[in-house]
Structure 1
């Protein structure tokens, strides 16, 4: 159970300090500190921390296990003092792999100060840590903790040249994220019943003045910026994304009225990579960007893991895929990418801060806010295997407030594409998450491109969640055939080129398929609205509509139920002829459907003179 610490239990007041929460040595130079374990320390306004004299308890405020600091959304005064907050966080990357970080603390040069890798420490006891060293070499080490400064970058731009080297400098502004590789080796030092590093999971102690209040990050339209959770607590990513996208007001049951602004697309992208890499060369990097859509503030949102691809000169995808994380609530120190949509700054607020029981666990991991139930978004998850080499995951979500077009904070464009790739088609772009109202009659088109050579695609339904419709089909509009994918896969081979709009996801087959049994075709109770006649003298099947409704489709089946002919696109004609001269002499079932979906079936005999 989450515990909130009352201020009266931890507040140390000095007559020289006007902060609401003050911690530091007494007038008699006696050290004081606050130790928060498995609890939330809530301070409505600002904090003043003074540095202690003893190196063993130098920090003024310690957050351990699930301990977190949250400050009020009406905070008026910035945090002050030369004292430090100490919070543990664990990285997931080894020496060859990146984590995307964001700093929960800064130096004391400003209200929310700058950060650098000199503010990482190696835990020795619950309160004492050694400052990490850094190296310009390629690999860092775990014990003693030595971080390679070769891989410290921020990102703001539209391509690879948007990476900006930071190195060992303390210049990272609050709210910005940064890349950092992990370290080699292990560290068996036991702190709080856990080793510092059992192998490729280094625990760090981040120390500095705690960030708080509004934190702004400039972003331009279509610019990509690496940002991250800037607070020593969990963060509600959905609330942050929805406030920083779209326009107008959004009425919610969990946050009241949300005022939105057009700063980003409302989508977050998370770097995920193959574990235990073995090379620092760009062409050997294997990873990709997973995609999170909040959909609506009170939901769990939708996360779609990435395709892992090689980032060499020719980008090739691998047969691996990223892990599936619950991304709504971010842990301390988690970085992610956002894409600009307008000319507004991105703004982090104290209102976005929440208690997350795993906020101090490894970065690039999910949190699990347990104090309130989350609404699940009804959805369909597809998997499309491409050339037997990799799988593109796609999610179709259903939400009544969405549109069939693109909506900020709902529909998510693919961060990048593989040589042969598929997605939901919006305009001419590929989307990995598409959110819209559910319409059982709708047929939703796919983006599909093949760059280099023929590609074989296998469509399958990975999962359906809270979906009342029990059917899923892939419609090939070129052949006008529907293929069920709930219990089987649909495979198709395609040549090089753009195949947008050819394939669609459908919830019902609007025409009969080859697998339809013959007895269903011979339903004598259907309304008779067509005259069907096999003219063997001319070698033609002749069909005349007896009503004012034109013919929509014609299908022919053999007596085993196999469909041997299908055609649509008859214009508005009510009288048509179809050649049967190429057909074998046999009995066939004809099925004719008009524009009202009224059907008639009839058995015919084709006799072609030899």
Structure 2
């Protein structure tokens, strides 16, 4: 095996490629220091230093990243890769993490567990300078400390193959010496300090030191149960690639690190990723005080798209994890808060969900496994992408509960496809925003894609993991779970179901399309199936009220007003009406041979003054109005149908009596 020594004068190393990378500790300056660039190694990395030494180690700085090619190569040695990631400078706020390194002291070689304690080999360190760090301390106190860096172990948990809030810790499993973090598993950890500043200047840099993870990494998942995982590599990762691969979808066009595109992976998860977001202004460790929820990301069934992320509506929680009644809610889904979830930065944790069992599969089916492979790895910096956020979350900006529409200039038609200037596939998309009980805004996203169905589509449709007791969600065919993201094949005749739920005696919902990137064929409508009324929500906001209860079948979204009549029908109806004035009998007769439903028949004089009116005559084929009290002259008869078809005719009245 050859040796490579990179001395301190390689600070600006732009790129390094090697079949194998060996870093010994023969001299004081025998280390690799990567400043903001990519190092690609085809096979394994061997580091002969130690966590408390300078020589024999590998230092990634200013978002420098390591990518490896061979999934089967085992990294080795007692030296460490040191890589930074930033945590919120806030002792109360959670992050979901994953470690890019493992314990370098464990044997055999290869990927190893990660220990969140001060005695377990590699781990989290406090930065002193570009090369030196000291291992973080741990405390049983609720609050973490910035300096010296002290992590509260009260909040160190993982969440593996669990359906929900069950058991003493509601499904969360404590991490400790006897239960270390396995490779690829995610973990929760709170921040440090007393400020609520979560911006780039308010973060706390964490130095992850250990053996770099590489190659095939698998995490257990169970059918229809959640697992907290995360990007396990010391590089960025194409999350869309990961979700599509593990949900059995086409990955032939995915952006990643490979010479030959990998084949479709096993169908083990639903293809959705859930991200915890919370209000960092809440200075409390009590669950009842939390304001937070889970946003949902899907790759929109296609690796060439940017995917779609819908942020949560923040809600307050009870001690058992259920929604707290009467607690304030903050809508977080504004254009300024969007995050590009397609690429997961180093250390990013997120939840995945195991797929449903088929009818042929038994409930005793062994655990599924979600797989990470080197092909998912990419070199992208958070600083180069303005829609990234180095602390993994959107900014906590409260928004007004008002609805306005953003119609982007476009030639894209409903059901069509196009590509943007970056080469990403653009699907027709609309956003539904609903003000619920004049308190918060629920945001739903509809996507049109020809390969989708009206039912659940893996890696396309996105569930609402933080539904509220008063809420509105998409309802998919043959599904009962609420959805925030609905991807479907466009057809003018298609209808998208909604589920409306209200906890109050009377609940108000004001709904409108607030974002649109395509030209509709005939608008977007809310259909009330009880009243059979269609309401234009593209150009107007429509407010309705429902009593307490759940309404899974009353409302739906349509792309035309099915009650509207065509021009041909309008002309046919108009031609069918006949109006006669019988002056000898002083009677005006309106004939309706098609028995069209009549809303109103009115008679006006030539000045526009209303003389007579008949309302809601139904489908009567003949309507008679007395003209005995009218003066001689010309009158205008106007007929209006229930579908607002209007017909007018002049008649001459000569009162012979």
Superposed pair shares fold, TM > 0.5: yes
Q: Deviations over 1:533-582 (max 9, x none)?
A: 99xxxxx9985549xxxx7x76558899xxx9999xxxxxxx9559999x
Q: Deviations over 1:102-136 (max 9, x none)?
A: 00000021421111234111111111111111100
Partners of 1:275 and 1:601 lie apart in 2 by 58
Partners of 1:371 and 1:81 lie apart in 2 by 45
Question: Following TM superposition, by how much is the alpha carbon of 1:233 offset from its aligned partner in structure 2, in angstroms?
Answer: 0.4
Question: Following TM superposition, by how much is the alpha carbon of 1:455 offset from its aligned partner in structure 2, in angstroms?
Answer: 0.9
* Residue 439 (structure 1) aligns with: 491
Matched, 1:422 2:472: yes
Q: Report if aligned partners of 2:16, 2:38 keep a CA contact under 8 Å in 1.
A: no
Gapped regions of structure 2 (runs ≥ 5) = 1-11, 118-122, 358-366, 395-419, 581-588, 609-613, 625-635, 651-657
Q: 1:395–1:59: structure 2 CA closer, same or farther, 3 Å change rule?
A: farther
Q: 1:99–1:470: structure 2 CA closer, same or farther, 3 Å change rule?
A: farther
* Residue 9 (structure 2) aligns with: none
Q: Report if aligned partners of 1:425, 1:446 keep a CA contact under 8 Å in 2.
A: yes
* Residue 302 (structure 1) aligns with: 308
Of the candidates 372, 386, 391, which is equivalent to residue 348 of structure 1?
372
* Residue 112 (structure 2) aligns with: 113
Question: Following TM superposition, by how much is the alpha carbon of 1:406 offset from its aligned partner in structure 2, in angstroms?
Answer: 1.0
* Residue 140 (structure 1) aligns with: 144
Partners of 1:258 and 1:566 lie apart in 2 by 65
Q: Report if aligned partners of 1:455, 1:495 keep a CA contact under 8 Å in 2.
A: yes
* Residue 463 (structure 1) aligns with: 515
Map 1:141-180 → 2, pairs under 5 A: 141-156=145-160, 157-160=162-165, 161-167=170-176, 171-180=180-189
Partners of 1:121 and 1:447 lie apart in 2 by 48
Q: Deviations over 1:182-204 (max 9, x none)?
A: 01158xxxxxxxx99954x2111
Question: Following TM superposition, by how much is the alpha carbon of 1:181 offset from its aligned partner in structure 2, in angstroms?
Answer: 0.4
Q: 1:254–1:267: structure 2 CA closer, same or farther, 3 Å change rule?
A: same
Q: Deviations over 1:56-97 (max 9, x none)?
A: 62561111112000011x333211110000001001361111
* Residue 265 (structure 2) aligns with: 260
Partners of 2:268 and 2:616 lie apart in 1 by 50
Of the candidates 273, 289, 293, which is equivalent to residue 288 of structure 1?
293
Gapped regions of structure 1 (runs ≥ 5) = 9-18, 187-194, 514-519, 535-539, 568-574, 594-598, 606-610
Question: Following TM superposition, by how much is the alpha carbon of 1:501 offset from its aligned partner in structure 2, in angstroms?
Answer: 2.5
Q: 1:80–1:510: structure 2 CA closer, same or farther, 3 Å change rule?
A: same
* Residue 378 (structure 1) aligns with: 428
* Residue 210 (structure 2) aligns with: 208
Partners of 2:152 and 2:56 lie apart in 1 by 25
Partners of 1:292 and 1:274 lie apart in 2 by 19
Q: 1:351–1:449: structure 2 CA closer, same or farther, 3 Å change rule?
A: same
Question: Following TM superposition, by how much is the alpha carbon of 1:449 offset from its aligned partner in structure 2, in angstroms?
Answer: 1.4
Matched, 1:408 2:458: yes
Question: Following TM superposition, by how much is the alpha carbon of 1:167 offset from its aligned partner in structure 2, in angstroms?
Answer: 4.7
* Residue 344 (structure 2) aligns with: 330
Residue aligned with 2:368, SS: coil
Q: Deviations over 1:358-390 (max 9, x none)?
A: 189723158xxx996322332101111101111
* Residue 13 (structure 1) aligns with: none
* Residue 73 (structure 2) aligns with: 77
How many residues get paired?
Answer: 546
Of the candidates 35, 38, 48, which is equivalent to residue 37 of structure 1?
35
Question: Following TM superposition, by how much is the alpha carbon of 1:318 offset from its aligned partner in structure 2, in angstroms?
Answer: 3.1
Specify the structure having the higher radius of gyration (Cα).
Answer: 2
User: Normalization by structure 2: what TM-score?
Assistant: 0.75
* Residue 220 (structure 1) aligns with: 222
Partners of 2:127 and 2:616 lie apart in 1 by 71
Q: Report if aligned partners of 1:150, 1:167 keep a CA contact under 8 Å in 2.
A: no
Q: 1:543–1:230: structure 2 CA closer, same or farther, 3 Å change rule?
A: farther
Partners of 2:621 and 2:55 lie apart in 1 by 90
Partners of 1:524 and 1:280 lie apart in 2 by 65
